[in-house]
Amino acid sequence: MRTSRTSDTRAAVVCGLGSALPGRLVTNDDLAADMDTSDEWIRTRTGIRTRHFVEPGTATSDLAVAAGAQALGSAGLSTVDTVLLATTTPDRPCPATAPLVAHRLGLTGRPAFDVSAVCTGFLYGLSVAAGLIASGSAEHVLLIGADTFSTIVDPQDRASAVVFGDGAGAVVLRAGAPEEHGALGPVELGSDGSLADLITVRAGGSEQRSAGRRPTRADAHFAMAGQDVFAHAVTRMAEATRTVMNRVGWKTGDVDRLVGHQANLRILHAVAEQLDMERERLVVHLDRVGNTAAASIPLALSHACAAEELAPGARVVLTAFGGGATWGAAALTWPSLDR
């Protein structure tokens, strides 16, 4: 799917940014104390050094509210027209978590809904927000990406347990002009449901319930076919990035920063290689936080912004791959933000 805008349409302009990480910092050595892995394996195979896990009793909505409040403050707003929450770890299977988050942000009465596209959720949410703004249905949209994968990963599954972390990131988008700094350009999205088994939690849905099967321990936890996902992630993120660059008229050398889904440093390097892009242009945040799923891109943006890696007017491409399978990319110029 393509979300387009032309110079006579309203653009969605990023005007606020927020982030939240839970307090429990977990090092590779902490994980190695409880399972057959090592700091050396995790660092060399993924690039990850630390991640944050929620404390017992902290839910996805708690992180989402914290990041959302910070984004609203950064935008200088106390209200928005719509709240979108990209997540794969909602507080409950039913209802959606976004209405609760909106309520806790003082936005009761506003439309609020969850977007489910696993690690591509934030990009799917950007596309929805851009559409709401372009159609005149909203002037301001709060988009939050929040996940607590520590609550669905099997702590003894060393292939998954070492790569995920918890967190939330958020942006506020306002109606504006396509020429402004911060304006979202084209968004390219895709999916392939034939790959649904590559990244999955089998229990908890209609499929197993209607079959009357009792979920096993493995069914109840997140499962990922790491090597297959790796290959698809590289191909799809590079393709989507190329498509978005073509649509916006940027060559590889025009892109100041590529903010890829922070799953694995080797994946980011492979994407850069396919695009013939210097690694220095990659925003890298996974070393500190691991793969935070739907929170990954807005957290990386917050990190890059705080580290002054994103100057106003910088040309930025965002790209992600996730369960579904889903993938996408988006182009924008970086705004000047109050943080």
Catalytic residues: 119, 261, 291
Residue 149 carries which DSSP code?
A: G
The two three-digit tokens of residue 180, written as one number:
């402004």
Q: Which stretch binds ligand ACO (CB under 6 A): 41-49, 101-109, 130-138, 282-290?
A: 41-49
Instruction: Give the closest residue to 144 by CA, choosing from 120, 126, 169.
Output: 169
Q: Which stretch binds ligand ACO (CB under 6 A): 107-115, 130-138, 204-212, 262-270?
A: 262-270
CB of 311 to ligand ACO, least distance (A): 29
Calpha distance 46→309 (Å, rounded): 22
Burial 212-236 (b: 16+ CB within 10 A, else e): eeeeeeeeebbbbeeeebbebbbeb
Among 25, 30, 39, 41, binds ligand ACO (CB under 6 A): 41
Q: Which stretch binds ligand ACO (CB under 6 A): 138-146, 185-193, 227-235, 327-335?
A: 227-235
Q: Which stretch binds ligand ACO (CB under 6 A): 181-189, 260-268, 275-283, 308-316?
A: 260-268
Q: Is 199 in the site for ligand ACO (CB under 6 A)?
A: yes
Calpha distance 163→260 (Å, rounded): 16
Q: Between 134 and 234, name the residue whose CB sits nearer to ligand ACO.
A: 234
Q: Is 295 in the site for ligand ACO (CB under 6 A)?
A: no
Q: Is 158 in the site for ligand ACO (CB under 6 A)?
A: yes
CB of 297 to ligand ACO, least distance (A): 12
Among 267, 299, 300, 318, binds ligand ACO (CB under 6 A): 267
Residues that bind ligand ACO (rule: CB under 6 A) add up to a total of 23
Q: Between 70 and 326, name the residue whose CB sits nearer to ligand ACO.
A: 326
Q: Is 45 in the site for ligand ACO (CB under 6 A)?
A: yes
Q: Is 159 in the site for ligand ACO (CB under 6 A)?
A: yes
Biggest alpha carbon distance in the chain? 58
Q: Between 244 and 267, name the residue whose CB sits nearer to ligand ACO.
A: 267
The two three-digit tokens of residue 328, written as one number:
């996408």
Among 227, 254, 311, 338, binds ligand ACO (CB under 6 A): 227
Residue 150 carries which DSSP code?
A: G
Restricting to residues 102-141, which ones interact with ligand ACO according to CB under 6 A?
Answer: 118-119
Among 84, 85, 162, 259, binds ligand ACO (CB under 6 A): 162
Instruction: Give the closest residue to 282 by CA, choosing from 262, 296, 298, 302.
Output: 262
Phi-psi region of 117 (alpha: psi -120 to 50; beta: other; left: phi over 0): alpha
**CB-CB neighbours of 154 under 10 Å:** 15
Strand partners, 25: 52
Q: What is the DSSP string of 186-226?
A: EEEEEE-GGGGGGEE--SSSHHHHHHTPPPPTTTTS-EE-H
Residues forming contacts to ligand ACO in the complex (CB under 6 A) are 37, 41, 45-46, 118-119, 158-159, 162-163, 199, 226-227, 229-230, 233, 263-264, 267, 293, 321-323
